[in-house]
Structure 1
Amino acid sequence: MRPIGALPMAAAPSTNSAREEYIHVREAGVTRRFAHLDDVEAFVSVVENGSMTAGAVALSTTPSVVSRAISRLETRLGVQLMRRTTRRLSLTEAGRAYLEQVRSAFSLIADAERAIQGQDGDLLAGHVRVSVSTTYGHYRLPETLSRFAQAYPLVNVELSITNRNVDLVAEGYDLAIRLGPLPDSGLIGRKLEDAPLCLVASPHYLERAGTPKTIEDLASHQCLPFVMPSTGRDAPWLFRLDGRDLDWTPPGRVRIFDDVLGVVSLAERGMGICQTYDFIVRDHIARGRLVELLEHARGRSRPFSVIFAPHRRMSAATRALIDFLVTPE
């Protein structure tokens, strides 16, 4: 990319006619309808990165160049977009409205590029941004991504492993893998699996506290509940007993927030009993580091789905990754 605000250089004219053509080309360049897009990109970069300096680093230029670009943009629009002080930047009302519109415009351009990339199946290329929870990101997705990378070596995957529910459209993600029923948000979802749940504790804990035989016995044990970020309440443990589904809220002196994998780490250290997914603790049980409990009450599961925005033009690379996710090996 050329420096922000720079115009294409032309060779110096050698004749009067050539000089007239040269002037015409320069004037055409200056009056191009979208010649200011570099300045717009500078504005967006500063907002998204929080400062002139950080925005300049993201664009591989200097803060002074970025500052001049925003000043040019404000002059062109005839409004102030930012309030600048020595310590912070803030958007004006006009700046916020303009930011929303130009982000949408850049998103459409990005969608168009994604849609055209990788049209040749033999040379599928492109870029896919994925958000996934820690459970799926650490224990289920790596195997699929490994196969995907071998099949499509020209596709770059940007993977965010976090338990925060990202805004796919606003944050520019192509797809996300989420737990639970799909929210009524206008997103499209395809179920990946219903992941079975199991109850586990370490041999050390069971030696110390005894082994529960019934669900009622759990009330006298040290349970490790996980607090759901969406509600702030302890997630119920799901059981199936005599053909009936039972939701039971575990008590616990230690409650885990943010990362559900914490319940497994604490259980493995002998701090109590937890409920988690089979795919997380299968290897721990096989190695004798955890023991499954109340097997007669298992049978419940929770769904994982891949979701994406319906109105975005999906690239061939994104479609290929979704096919890998939803199609068993």
Structure 2
Amino acid sequence: MAGVAGAQQFLAFAETAKHGGFAAAARRLGQAPSTVAKSVQRLEEGLGLKLFHRTTRQVVLTPDGERLFQRCQRVLTELEDLHADAAGARAAPTGTLRIDLPIYYGKRFVLPLLAGLQQRCPGLQLDVSLTDLQVDLVREGIDLAVRIGHLRDSTLVARRVDSQSLQLCASPGYLATRGTPRRLEDLAQHAAIVFRLPNTGRDRPWQFRRGGRAVELQPHAQLRIGESEGLVEAVKLGMGLCQLPDMLVADAMARGQLVELLPGLRPPPMPIHILHAPGRLLPARVRVAIEALQALRHQGNAPAA
């Protein structure tokens, strides 16, 4: 398999895998669904591999298809960058940058940097996703993502740009009624507000550091909320204690609406990374975005680790 026909078959396969069906891939490629399906079938025949499980409603990658898709994504990214070089696009990045951001951190810190980037690069379009879900960058065709917390093992390239600390908080009104906890053991006597992790639906445990050792508590929740700014409002209303990112509660702390509890047991700061797919070459749009997001190092409120 060689030449333009072979390249088209790999492109048809990659777009089908990315979008979960021949019809969606055909719309992206400007072809008929039957043409895309035939290209994928010829690729399977040429490789001697079954790349998709087909149903009447969707196609799902086989294990062989998953492995090929990962390799195709890297190759297509590098080809795109080579085309950009040939067109002289390095000096003026163009095209669509797809970026995935945590909701609060993205709105508060990243969007202002992206606004500046777009002013400097008017040929660049932005497709921004604001979600606290952990999506698959390669499968969703995302160029760049910002992630908060320690990363799981991954083939993605990670660059640390910031950090945030967690603070146990309550409102003055709540403390006046229920008293102020002085030790970890006192927390069992208080109402707990917890963050429901969007990926798993589980409660995020509270984390502390006592005597140089990490301590994790799973409080009995009086209230669960799956959105960070909603947690802040609940704590301000006196509904209980909650452990929250420092940058999320800084304004409320400054206004006296919230009080930090057990500050001497605050856990170490959590890292914040920007992530992208591996490859020897990065598209110009991704490279300039990474350079712009380096400014995040100076914007977070977390103390140095």
**TM class by shorter-chain length?**
0.7 to 0.9
| Alignment partner, residue 178 of structure 2 | 209
- Verify the 8 A CA contact 1:40 1:70 in the aligned structure 2: no
1:304 matches 2:272: yes
- Verify the 8 A CA contact 2:174 2:239 in the aligned structure 1: yes
Paired residue secondary structure (2:222): coil
Give aligned-pair identity as a percent.
29
Deviations 1:284-329 (A, max 9, x none): 3334443333445557422212233443521233222222222347
1:172 matches 2:156: no
Q: Relative to structure 2, which stretch is displaced further, 143-152 or 208-217?
A: 208-217
1:169-248 → structure 2 map (5 Å cutoff): 169-226=138-195, 234-239=204-209, 244=212, 247-248=215-216
- Verify the 8 A CA contact 1:240 1:300 in the aligned structure 2: no
- Verify the 8 A CA contact 2:99 2:126 in the aligned structure 1: yes
* Counterpart-to-counterpart distance in 1, 2:149 and 2:61: 39
Paired residue secondary structure (1:104): helix
Deviations 1:164-199 (A, max 9, x none): 333334443333222233444344332212323322
* 1:254–1:145 Cα change, 3 Å: farther
* Counterpart-to-counterpart distance in 1, 2:172 and 2:64: 59
1:314 matches 2:282: yes
1:249 matches 2:249: no
Match of 2:232 among 256, 264, 268: 264
Question: Residue type matched to 2:119 in 1?
Answer: Q
**For structure 1, which runs of at least 5 residues remain unmatched after alignment?**
1-31
* 1:281–1:73 Cα change, 3 Å: closer
* Counterpart-to-counterpart distance in 1, 2:136 and 2:236: 34
The offset of 1:272, in angstroms, is 0.9
1:1-329 → structure 2 map (5 Å cutoff): 33-35=3-5, 41-42=11-12, 44-59=14-29, 65-71=32-38, 74=41, 77=45, 87-90=56-59, 97=64, 101=68, 104-105=71-72, 107-114=74-81, 117=84, 123-226=92-195, 234-239=204-209, 244=212, 247-254=215-222, 256=224, 259-295=227-263, 297-298=265-266, 300-327=268-295, 328=298
Which protein has greater RCO, CA pairs closer than 8 Å, 6+ apart? 2
* 1:220–1:55 Cα change, 3 Å: same
* 1:270–1:56 Cα change, 3 Å: farther
User: Taking structure 1 as the reference length, what is the TM-score of the superposition?
Assistant: 0.68
Question: Residue type matched to 1:101 in 2?
Answer: L
- Verify the 8 A CA contact 1:227 1:255 in the aligned structure 2: no
The offset of 1:131, in angstroms, is 2.5
- Verify the 8 A CA contact 2:12 2:40 in the aligned structure 1: no
- Verify the 8 A CA contact 1:131 1:161 in the aligned structure 2: yes
Deviations 1:13-46 (A, max 9, x none): xxxxxxxxxxxxxxxxxxx942475566555545
Higher radius of gyration, 1 or 2: 1
User: Taking structure 2 as the reference length, what is the TM-score of the superposition?
Assistant: 0.72
- Verify the 8 A CA contact 1:115 1:314 in the aligned structure 2: no
* Counterpart-to-counterpart distance in 1, 2:154 and 2:142: 15
* Counterpart-to-counterpart distance in 1, 2:153 and 2:39: 42
The offset of 1:280, in angstroms, is 0.8
* 1:308–1:109 Cα change, 3 Å: closer
* Counterpart-to-counterpart distance in 2, 1:92 and 1:193: 36
- Verify the 8 A CA contact 2:18 2:140 in the aligned structure 1: no
Q: How many residues align?
A: 291
- Verify the 8 A CA contact 1:202 1:270 in the aligned structure 2: yes
